[in-house]
Amino acid sequence: MAEHVQKLVVVTGASTGMGASTARELARQGFHVLAGVRRDRDAEALRSAGIEPVILDITEPGQVEAVAARVADDPRPLHALVNNAGIQVNAPVEALPMAEWRRVFEVNLFGHIALTQALLPALLRSRGRVINISSIGGRTAMPTYGAYAGAKFALEAVSDALRREVEPFGVRVVVLEPGGVRTEMATRGIATANDLATRMTPEQHQRYGGLVQAINSLMASGTASGLTADAAARAIAKAVTTPRPRTRYAVGRDAALIIRLSRILSDRTLDRVIATNLRRHYPKPA
């Protein structure tokens, strides 16, 4: 723990869930954590020894610049940036409005790039690391996950490019791919999916209504049996602290299984596996 004292870590999306648990775990290990939250009440709930909440919406350039200035003004080195902020929006490709596609990519991809660009000078000076929180959705795209998985696939590609650009200068880039985690994000995702389903045309609802319900059921069951936020936070903290981190970590047994299957099965076979797994979640006929 002593070796981490007087080092900074920035964690985004720290209001609840994995982000909040990660901020607390890293503070426990001796880091000074700048924890990005969007509301004052979240800041007060999180504030404690070693945790300094900062108002940060990663899609707002002014707030990104303010965090970069806060880091630049601190004499302590920036050890890591944990890009954890994200939203989950699920709908069939045909039925998801373009404004929602853009919003998902703004939060789940472009915001991370903006903050990474702003903090890279500090990370290059300290030979620190970037931890990008992806998902099993960054490897395999389930039905209705087009926007979410699309942004995560892109984040994985950006992570690969960035790693090959900055590792020669001592900066490590690590991707974490969690499976089901018991956080509020999945609950909010189900509510958003149901809201978007009400906006589908009658024809779209006939095509996809059962699928949306099946995905919501699968998401709920996967979340209920998934890791706790604290367990996921310990995996993130390991990526932050281990001297020689791997380029990628699967977080949770379900993530490890799905990633393994995506490597060994053909696309058509994987399609059948997913369809079979979804079938039991479809609503029963009246």
Report the catalytic residues. 148
What gap in Å lies between CA 101 and CA 124, rounded to an integer?
Answer: 33
How far is residue 248 CA from its own chain's centroid?
Answer: 14
CA distances from 95 to 141, 208, 223, 239, 274 (A): 17, 9, 25, 37, 21
- Burial bucket for residue 191 (CB in 10 Å: 0-12, 13-18, 19+): exposed
The β-bridge relationship of strands 32-37 and 227-228 is unpaired
